[in-house]
Each structure stands twice: as structure tokens, then as C-alpha cells.
Amino acid sequence: MKTQMAAARDNIVTPQMEQLLAAETVDRDDLVSAVAAGRIAIPANPHHTHLVAGGVGRGLRTKINVNLGVSEDCCNVDLEIEKVRRAVALKADAIMDLSTFGDTRAFRRRAIEISPVMIGTVPVYDAVARYGKSVPDISVDDFFDTVALHAADGVDFITIHAGLTRAAVDRLRRRPRLTHVVSRGGAILLHWMDANECENPFYEHFDRLLEICRAHDVTISLGDGLRPGSLHDATDAAQIQELIILGELTLRAWRADVQVMIEGPGHVPLHEVAANMQLQKKLCHGAPFYVLGPIVTDVAPGYDHITSAIGGALAGAHGADFLCYVTPAEHLRLPDADDMKEGIVAARIAAHAADIAKGIPGAMDWDNAMSHARKELDWPRMMELAMDPDKARAYRESSKPLDEHVCTMCGDLCAVKRSRQVLEGR
């Protein structure tokens, strides 16, 4: 079986590429060359039979990902499956199953079965849940057997924190952070490495990982185990050291025809976001960039979908390709269905704003259509075009004007109505 990258290098247009061409404005030849060069990734495990393939990378719409899954404290499988369905309905482009408890495989397979969008996982979480061992007692084979299981189940992309090496940890020890390691997968591997006095198994045995991913065409999302968890720690030596290593691993993966995405920060001050995007693209050879936020202030728990959307829009405008949503519950608890919706809409706003800034062909057509409807005071059309039609309609219905053509903000002083009368005579 050829991976998407191998097929592109042989100038073969796969069915998944055809699906992508139907959904995007990218040129066929440009798509094939970008996939061949690693600038676009098409996460599409052939075992994910209901997948409608999407792409991440240069010249494509900025995509958004939704995290969900069960934990020991919140283990309602049916609720999380319903979140999968709702995330798809709300137009998420990808779903990551971050389950850490219970029958994780049963949940993962149900999610893959019902999801038409790409599915990602973090196998190191599942290794802890699956074997029930303390972290230091997990074997190298346990880690890799879990990766192989996820690949066989149909997972399209996996987060692997292979850049958190002993050398990177030494640098972290020499220059301590305010918030240490905030990546859950990174912290698991940090604990394992320290307790066993061994190198990161995914770095030491990276070729073994590549064999599994090539066999199932699983895209590797090279995780940022040392991403900053506070503004104070942003763009520090440990983060950059890991990024350099991820760039080296990217080239190794591409030589094996394995697709790669790079995960990025994290908590980053607004004025450092653009520089972080430029560093990643330079050090990781233009690989698609998947950002976790970035969150641009640390002081807004309950509103981190907003702090993230601000950072995500700026990151996307400067080259980020994939935004991981953040919900109002970030830093506080497992998000519920309402939190998930708020996070998805915020991330979609950020992604769309980024697409306009990037000049993605057709991106602003939606905005122009809305502006035309507003000029015409065509309220049904405005509701239809709204990113969240239900919420827009609810606001409109909650406060009805005397004149149905305007709203209760301005009433008869409506600027649109008055200027249209003057300039168009109607």
C-alpha cells in the first residue's frame, strides 16, 4: 500500500486527493506537489472507511480540531460519542480522542465508525489506561504495541512527543520554567525517562514508529511536549530545542514516505505569535503547523476560548494550518457539550479570519454575502449565513422591533435603512 505521500511522489492522484480537490480551491498539480513535498498532509488511514478526507497545509483552508474523550472522573462514553456527532454537525474538521480511562479501544472504534472527519489520538495516554501499570513500568513494547493498535483501528493521525529528548530535558533543568511541563503526554514521557534513566523511546526507536505509520498511512503529529504553559515560558530554549529536534525527525519521516504535522504552542504573548510561526516553518521545513491555541493571556479562566481565538487568528494569519480548539472549561474541568460548542465556534471564527488574511481564494465570499444581506435588511438570509444560525435567531427573536426591517439597537435610526433611502432612493 502506498501512503498519500508516496502516491503523490509517483504523481498519482488518490481518491482522498480527489475528495480534497472537491472541497478546496487548490489546483490539482499544486496539491500533488505539496503532498509530495510534505507541505500538505492528508491524514487518511485506509481502515477509517467512512472518512471524507481533509487536508492540512499550504494553500488550504485553516482547519480546526476538537478534543474529547473519557477520563476517570468523567467516564460517560455515550456523552462523548454524542459529542463526536455534535462536533461533526458543528463543522469541526478533525476530532482527537484523548481518553485515559476505561475501555478506550471500544470508545475509539465507535468514534472512528461514526466520524466522517479525521480522527487523531495520543497513544501514550492509552498505554497508561490499557495496561494499568505505573508509568515507569510501561515497557517500550507496550508503547509501540499501543501505537500499532491505534493504527489498525483506523486512527488517521497520532500525536507522538518524540522531540522531548534527554538533551532537551537537561536544557530544561538548567533553565527552569515557571510552569515546567504542561503537556500530559510530555509529562508521562518525562516521568518514564527519569525513572528508567533512558532516552525517549519514540526518539530512540523512531524508525520503528515510521514502519507502523507507513504500513497504515498514519500521519504523525509531532507533539510539543515542551510547549509553554505560561506566557513567562514562551519561546524559551527548551521549546526551541525541541522544535529543532522535530525538524530533524520530520526529514526522517519524509524519507520514509510518512506524512508529518508539527504541534506548536501553547501559551504565547501576542507579540511573539508571528515569530513562533516563522520559527516553526523555518526549522521544520514548511511542514503543516498545528497550534494548541495559542493562548495569549494567562488570566482568563472561563474565557480561554476567547484568548485562544485571538492567538489562533494571528497564528493562522502568519502560517499556522490547523487550530486546536480551546473551550471555556480549559484549565478548569472536562468540557461539556455546551463548552464544546463555544470552543468550536470560537475556533471557526479564528480559522476563517486567518483564511481571509492568508488570501485563500473565495474565503471572503461568505462575508460579502452577509454584508449584502445586511444592506438589504434581509434578516432570513442573515440568519442562514450566520456561523451559528441558532444563536443568531435566538437573539433576534428575544427582542423584536416595532419595524420588522430593523433591530432594537437603532430602530427608526437604523443607519443602513436611512443611508439606503438617501443613496438608493429606497
Reported as a single tens digit per residue, the pLDDT across 217-235 is 999 999 999 999 999 999 9
Does pLDDT of 425 surpass 90?
no
Same domain, 337 and 375: no
- The residue-averaged pLDDT of 237-250 equals 96
396 in the same domain as 303: no
Prediction pTM value: 0.96
Residue 380 confidence (pLDDT): 96
Shared domain check, 323 and 381: no
Shared domain for 373 and 318, answered yes or no, is no
Task: Count structural domains, the chain.
Answer: 2
Least confident of 18-22, 84-88, 128-132, 303-307: 128-132
C-beta of residue 291 within 8 angstroms of C-beta of residue 333: no
Residues 173-199 pLDDT 10s = 999 999 999 999 999 999 999 999 999
Last residue of a domain, one of 358, 386, 413: 358
Average pLDDT over residues 302-314: 98
Q: Are residues 309 and 380 in the same domain?
A: no
Tell me: pLDDT of 71 over 90.
Answer: no
Q: Can you give the residue range of the structural domain that contains 142?
A: 4-358
268 close to 311: Cβ distance less than 8 angstroms? yes
Percent of the chain with pLDDT over 70: 100
Q: Are residues 104 and 28 in the same domain?
A: yes
Q: Which tens digits make up the pLDDT trace of 99-129?
A: 998 899 999 999 999 999 999 999 999 999 9
Looking at 329, 358, 387, the residue that finishes a domain is 358
The answer on 328 and 376 residing in a single domain is no
Q: Are 309 and 373 part of one and the same domain? A: no
**Band of residue 82 on the pLDDT scale cut at 50, 70, 90:** very high
Cα–Cα distance list, 186 to 202, 228, 244, 253, 309 (Å): 12, 12, 16, 20, 24
Closest CA to 178 of 298, 331, 309: 298
pLDDT of 1 > 90? The answer is no
For residue 129, what is its C-alpha cell? 489506561
Look at residues 338, 358, 378 and tell me which one is the last residue of a structural domain: 358
166 is written with which cell numbers? 534527554
The values of phi and psi at residue 35, to 5°, are -65, -40
Instruction: Extract the annotated binding site for [4Fe-4S] cluster.
Output: 407, 410, 414
Q: What is the pLDDT of residue 426?
A: 79
Please state the separation of Cα 198 from the chain's center in Å.
30
Q: pLDDT class for 72, splitting at 50, 70, 90? A: confident
Nearest to 91 by CA among 121, 136, 52: 52
- CATH assignment at residue 328: 3.20.20.540
- φ, ψ of residue 106 to 5 degrees: the values are -60, -45
332 CB-side CA count, 13 A: 16
With a cut of 90, say whether residue 330 has pLDDT above it. Answer: yes
Please compute the mean of the pLDDT values over residues 151-155 and round it to a whole number. Answer: 98
Residues in binding site: 67, 96, 125, 161, 183-185, 224-227, 263, 267, 290, 331, 407, 410, 414
| Residue 224 shares a structural domain with residue 144 | yes
Q: Look at residue 295 in the predicted model and tell me its pLDDT.
A: 98
Tell me: do 352 and 232 sit in the same domain.
Answer: yes
> Does 161 lie in the same domain as 61?
yes
pLDDT band of 70, cuts 50, 70, 90: confident
For residue 76, pLDDT over 90 is answered with no
Mean of the per-residue pLDDT values for the chain?
A: 96
Residues that constitute the known binding site for Zn(2+): 267, 331
Whether 342 and 374 share a structural domain = no
- Hey, what's the torsion of the CAs at 19, 23, 27, 29, to 10 degrees? -20
